[in-house]
Structure formats: structure tokens, C-alpha cells
Structure 1
Amino acid sequence: MLNALTALTRGTRLVFSPGLRRYVFLPMLVNLVVYAAGLHYVLGHFGGWLDGWMALVPGWLGWLEWLIWPLFVVTLVLMVFFSFTLVTHLIAAPFYGFLAAKVEAQQTGRAPQDERGLMRAGLDALGRELVKLGYILPRMALLFVLGWVPVVNLLAPPLWLAFSAWVMAITYLDYPMDNNAVSFAEMRRRLRRRWWPTLTFGGWVTLLTWIPLANLFLLPGAVAGSVLMWERHYRDQGPAGEALAPRR
């Protein structure tokens, strides 16, 4: 059985093999520029954001400040990195979709079902990313609001971690599914049916995003890993949940 960690390991080796590595350098450059600009901005504003949050803590909870402060720090850090990730993937989506198609063709010997030209694929990928944002942002806003509710905000860090894993699974596993004409709604249904492979894959990818600089090299491997996960866990699920006949 192909697990999430094996898929990511194999995927990273794949994208830097001859024939595929030329497709990863431009996404890596995009990520580098966005992360550098974002890090510069955050370092200049992080202290002010944290002071603003702490100023909103009601006086009757002052005795819990020793616990609330580190929870605010963790929540804010999670939100910042989560936002960085959304921005970088919005920009890099056309390149990642194209990379996923190349990996699928190399590994399976067949082109994706919805094979498109580079320009059309790029435009469609941007549209798909906007659909994803429409799904993610309201839920992200809800978590943000919960982070301001006294006592309830103690649950904010684990909720952000779980949500990040789910979003990373949606973000990466959507590349091969979009290439094979699986709708966004149907993609989410397939991910929910195989919730354990989905969350473990998303959790490992989330961890990769937290490794400074190394994530520039590892995230393209997550794209290839998503193709391997698609082939093993999701391709042969029918639209109503029934298993399809194995492909020959």
C-alpha cells in the first residue's frame, strides 16, 4: 500500500530526475520571491499584530496571560504561513498543474483524460484556484474569529493544524484530479471517502511548508506525490462512491 510519506519521497526523487526537473525550476523561483517578500513584511509587523491581539484580552482573563500569549503566537504564526502558502500556490498553480500532467504521463504511460494546451491549462488552473479560495477563505475566516473568542481560542492552534492538513490535501491532490476532469465537488467527496490517506498526505505537506528554503525543493515533489496518491487511492472511485473496474 502506498502511504503518504512514501508518495512524497518517491515524488521528490521523480521531479528531479532527467525529463522532469526542467519543469520545477520556475515554480521554485516563484516560491522564493513570494516567501522572501512575505517574510520581510511579516518581520516588520509581527510585533504590532501580537500587541494588538493581547490588548483585546479582557481584564478578567489577565491571570491567564501566561497561557494566552503563547497560544496567540502559535495561532498568528500558523495564520501567516497558511496565508503565504495560499498566495504561492495561487501563483504557481499553472506550473504545478502542468508538472502533474507530465508526471502522470511518465509514470502511467497515458496522458491525463483532460489533456489541454499549456495556455488553456494555465488559465483553467487559475480559475480552479479561485474556486478553492472560495471554499477555503470562509472557513479560514471562521477559524480566525474563533481565535478571538476567550476560552474557545484555546482550541485554535489544533484546529488550524487540522485545517491546514485538509487544505494542503485539497491543494495538491486537486492537480491530478483537475487534469482528469474530476470536478471540485467530486474531488472533495473522494478525499472524504479516503480521509486517512488524505489527512496524512496533507499533514506531511504542511510539515514540508514549514522547512525554510528546503520547502522550495520539496513542494514540487509533493505535486508528483499527489499524482502517485491519485493513481493508488482515488482514480478508481466512481462519482457516487462505487469502485470502478481497474484500468488495464
Structure 2
Amino acid sequence: MLNLNKGNNPLFALNCLVQGIKLLPHPSLRKYLLIPFFINIVLYTGAFVLGYHSVSALIHQFIPDWLSWLSWILWPLFFVSFLVVGFFTFTLLANLIAAPYYSQLSAKALQIVTGQPDQAVTEAPWDKIFLGELRRIGYLLARILPLLLLFVIPVVNLIAPVVWALFAAWGVAMEFMAYPLECRGLPFPEQKRFLQQTRLGSLCFGGVIGMALTLPLVNLLIGQAAVIGATLYVHQLSESNANTEQTS
């Protein structure tokens, strides 16, 4: 059982994330960090290079020399678009590829903070990890298009950025909280229920991670820190509930 009331505290959620960042240099976690790190490097570098050459070709093809000054506007738009689109596409793709390694990272981080032997900490089966990741991606993609339509509806488009930001925070929290919850055997519906019951803390956690994912270089390691932070978040909620039951 988890103490979900404590999970609604934004400061508690952020403290778990900070602890996750501090735990990144731990020697026992290095091999679990490397593969997701290289996956992120390959995907983000490939996306950036492809986007750069595509935009450059479009500028040269459709903008005449006398309008070359427009490139000063188009290039900043490209970088902003890359950061936004990169989050919703390459982050999801990176998580799909790195999901088994993130699950191992979560299990190892739990083993470190609890001091339990390796065999006492279970990992979710790889097939369930992939199926869970596909279900989360399907859940998020099914809601992205309706949310994008908000931007073209008059008046409603004024609140569209706020709704989009909240959805992004929710999606990020759903992605990274899944790993420790799957290690506990919680299927996707119960993971959603957990997020709904810790909505405020989860949104704060996901919002900070979401912003960090848009920052070059930072996004190469923030996913690993988020997995560790989510693991600490779930574990400390469990410990808090156990202490409450003992006291009562």
C-alpha cells in the first residue's frame, strides 16, 4: 500500500527528483545509465541533423535571395519546434527503446536505497515492459490530436497552451512513474489510478522533467534521473504508509 496523500505534495515530488539526480554518479548505476544515454545521443543527434538539413533545403528552395532576411526568423522557429516536437516524438521513441534498461535502472536504484540483495528486488518481464510502453504511447497519442485542435478554435486557443502544458506534464509523469510501478506488478490501469490519486505531486514531477527534456545536453541524462526519482517517490510513499500503520 502507498501513502497517496503524501504523494500529492509538490515539494516531496521535487525532493525525490533531486535525490534521483544526486544518485546518478553512484558506481553501481553506471552500467544502467550508459545504454539509455547512447540511445538518447543517437536519436536526438539524428533528429537534429535531419531537421537542420531539411529546413536549410526548404529555405534555399522557397525563399529568394531578396527575402534571405527571413531566415533569421525561420531558424529560431526551427529550434523551438525541434524542442517541442522532439519531446513528443523522440522522447517517446527513446523511452520505447530504452524501456527494459530503465526498468533495470529502477530495480537497481531500489536495491541501493533499501540495501536489499539483488535477488530480493524483482524486475518486470521485458514483454510486459514493452506492452506497457506501447499502451502508454497509444494513450498519449490518442489525446495529442484533439489537444492540437484546441489551437485553431477561436477563444479556446487562448487556454490551449495551458492545457497542452498540463497534458505534457501528465504524460511525462506517466512515462517515468511506470517503471517502479511495473516492478511492483501494477498494470497500466492501476498506474493511471495512482497518478490520478497523486495528481498534484505527479504533475509537478512531470512538469519539471518535461522542461528539462527540452534542454540540449540536459535531456541526455534527465530521463535516467527521472527513473531514479520516480523509484524513490514510490518507495518513500510505501515506507511512509508502513510507518503510519505501525504508529496506528
How would you bin the TM-score normalised by the shorter chain? 0.7 to 0.9
* Residue 115 in structure 1 maps to residue 125 in structure 2: no
Answer yes or no: is 1:81 the counterpart of 2:87.
yes
Q: Tell me if structure 2 keeps the 8 A contact 1:20–1:103.
A: yes
* Matched residue, 2:173: 169
Q: Structure 2: which amino acid aligns with 1:160?
A: W
1:3, 1:46 → 2: CA distance? 42
**Aligned 8 A contact 1:24 1:99 in 2:** yes
- Partner amino acid, structure 1, of 2:101: F
Structure 1 residue 23 corresponds to structure 2 residue 32 = yes
Q: How big is the shift at 1:146? A: 2.3
The one-letter code of the counterpart of 2:19 is R
Q: Which moved more, 1:213-222 or 1:89-98?
A: 213-222
Distance in 2, matches of 1:141 and 1:10, equals 35
**Matched-pair identity in %:** 33
Answer yes or no: is the 8 Å Cα contact 2:151–2:160 preserved in 1. Answer: yes
Contact 1:28 1:216 in 2 (8 A): yes
Q: 1:193 to 1:112 in 2, by over 3 A?
A: farther
Higher relative contact order (CA 8 A, sep 6+): 2
Whole-Å Cα distance in 2 between the matches of residues 47 and 165 of structure 1?
32
Q: Is 1:190 matched up with 2:194? A: yes
Other-structure match for 2:152: 148
RMSD across aligned positions (CA): 3.3
Give the Cα separation in 2 of the matches to 1:235 and 1:140: 36
Preserved CA contact (<8 Å) 2:29 2:108:
yes
Alignment of 1:59-138 (within 5 A): 78-110=84-116, 115-116=122-123, 121-138=125-142
**Conservation of the 8 A alpha-carbon contact between 2:107 and 2:121:** no
**Normalising by the residue count of structure 2, what TM-score does the alignment of the two structures yield?**
0.76
Asked if the contact 2:105–2:228 (Cα under 8 Å) also holds between the matched residues in 1, the reply is yes
Deviation at 1:161, TM superposition (A): 1.1
The correspondence for 1:38, drawn from 42, 47, 51, is 47
Aligned CA distance change for structure 1 residues 230 and 113 (closer, same or farther; 3 Å): farther
The structure where helix makes up a greater share of residues is 2
Question: 8 Å contact 1:100–1:224 — kept in the other structure?
Answer: yes
Q: CA deviation at 1:113?
A: 8.3
Calculate the TM-score normalised by the size of structure 1. 0.76
Structure 1 contact 100–176 (Cα < 8 Å) conserved? yes
Given that 2:110 and 2:121 are in contact with CA atoms closer than 8 Å, whether structure 1 keeps it comes out as no
Distance of 2:245 and 2:190 partners within structure 1: 18
Do residues 6 (structure 1) and 15 (structure 2) align? Answer: yes
Tell me the matched-pair count: 219
C-alpha contact 1:75 1:160 (8 A) present in aligned 2: no
- Which structure 1 segments of 5+ residues have no match? 50-69, 238-242
Q: C-alpha offsets along residues 189-211 of structure 1, whole Å, 9 cap, x if unaligned?
A: 11111111111111111121022
Q: How much has 1:45 moved relative to structure 2?
A: 4.7
